[in-house]
Amino acid sequence: MTDLHQIALKIVSNGKGILAADESTGTMTKRFDAINVESNAENRLKFRETLFSSSGMKDYIGGVILYDETIKQITNNGINIPDLIKSSGSVVGIKVDSGAKSLAGSAEEKVTEGLDGLRERFKEYYKLGARFTKWRAVYNITENFPTTLAIKSNAHALARYAALAQEANIVPIIEPEVLMDGDHDINKCFEVTSEVLKVCYEELYLHNLDLKGTILKPNMILPGSSSSSKTSNDEIANLTLKCLKMNVPEEVPGIAFLSGGQSEIEATKNLNEINKINDTNFLITFSYGRALQQSTLSYWGKNQDDFANTQTVFNHRAKMNSLATSGNWIENKDKIII
């Protein structure tokens, strides 16, 4: 087994998933504004350090995706953040894209940038302890979007990023996110996500990726967030699995879903339904940002010195999602008492 394959498996096996804590400073400022906390480097560290030192890390979190600022920070106890994450047996990850920018040729759509100097940046991040990485492409669903241009350019960038990551001995997370915004129904999401994934894997093949040393981070197949159509969790799970089976090569060891704006409970429930059925060989888990941090962030906003209970809230959410990786989550037991 190659090293990259082993690392990929370590991140997504044994009921573990990924904590996506790689919000850019701009996004983190929005999150902090909502809880009336000043967004400065010290407060961002304080919140993230609280998550990374919680007891739930050991059992439920196989990898943490960091932002450039965080991977270079040192805790109040003098431990650097990568070492803190490694101390609970979790793998250190780093987001390396520099964001989605207007796509020349179809200016209302986005293409993700960040390839310039990436080979050198990977070398630096490897030295800092990173063993996996993330690049996110975004696609909007409207009557005319996504265009073939947006699908192809993003797939090309994802493949070039992923090839550079593997060259640096780092596992790439491939994240093509079809956004939930819009009033489209679930079938439209299925159709667009299928095309996006198909084209991504064509490009990954072309760039000679070792797919066993990658992780896919897709969206679930869901109706648009302003759609009026009713969809059951069972339908979501079945269409999501159908889409993966049709478009994702079997060598890919793990699928770690993004939450994409679903509530914490929805994200857990849908993951649970998917794993109750999972008739694939993929290990299917979570790589949640908002759906792992929302309740913790809101508790911490009101109780900034209550380190212990903030961690209790985080541990609970991480445990619930871990249960969902084996289809063993039970909705009426998803309660937390502080």
Residues that bind ligand 13P in the complex, under the rule CB under 6 A? 20, 136, 175, 258-260, 288-291
Nearer to ligand 13P, 56 or 337 (CB): 56
Among residues 46, 95, 212, 217, the one annotated as catalytic is 217
Largest CA distance in the chain: 53
In angstroms, give the least distance from the CB of 35 to ligand 13P.
Answer: 16
CA distance 186 to 197: 16
Among residues 23, 175, 177, 273, the one annotated as catalytic is 175
In angstroms, give the least distance from the CB of 178 to ligand 13P.
Answer: 12
CA distance 322 to 271: 10
* Shortest-Cβ-distance residue relative to ligand 13P: 289
CB 118 within 8 A of CB 125: no
CA distance 134 to 302: 31
Nearer to ligand 13P, 91 or 258 (CB): 258
Task: List b or e across 196-220, with b for residues whose CB sees 16 or more CB atoms inside 10 angstroms.
Answer: bbebbbebbeeeebbbbbbbbbbbb
In angstroms, give the least distance from the CB of 183 to ligand 13P.
Answer: 20
Nearer to ligand 13P, 48 or 228 (CB): 48
Whether 30 is a known active-site residue: answer: no
Nearer to ligand 13P, 146 or 289 (CB): 289
Contacts of residue 35, Cβ cutoff 8 Å, sequence gap at least 6? 297, 298, 300, 301, 302
Nearer to ligand 13P, 20 or 157 (CB): 20
In angstroms, give the least distance from the CB of 258 to ligand 13P.
Answer: 4
Contacts of residue 121, Cβ cutoff 8 Å, sequence gap at least 6? 96
Helical pair 290-302 and 41-52, crossing angle rounded to 10 deg: 110
CA distance 147 to 103: 11
Whether 217 is a known active-site residue: answer: yes
In angstroms, give the least distance from the CB of 1 to ligand 13P.
Answer: 27
Residues with catalytic roles: 175, 217
